[in-house]
Amino acid sequence: MIATTAAISPYREVRDEVRRAHEATFVEVFVDCPLEELVRRDKKGLYAKALRGEIRSFTGVSDPYESPLSPDVHIRSDIETVAESLAKVVQWLKGHGLIQSE
């Protein structure tokens, strides 16, 4: 069984600590997207509010985000389709023996 969780984890130190605690089973998938594209996609307008200073401590705008130095999988959601991104994750899992090829 594979459990997946999406988490905004802005600090490398915290992610590294979680990796150490779950070394055999932790897979870091970095979903990377430029701020301009995040603003464009944002249906709730939270990025626009954060950029105007209406929301304080907003990760990636007024609060830092430390990109992973060497994620297991690096997704570029601004230039990859969902299918391409999923294929990268599945290929990594297969390549590391966490799921079997069909």
SS3 track for the chain? CCCCCCCCCCCHHHHHHHHHHCCCCCCCEEEECCHHHHHHHCCCCHHHHHHCCCCCCCECCCECCCCCCCCCEEEECCCCCHHHHHHHHHHHHHHCCCCCCC
Residue 9 known to be catalytic: yes
* Residue of 9, 67, 77, 101 marked active site: 9
Residue with tokens 């970095």: 30
Mind telling me the catalytic residues? 9
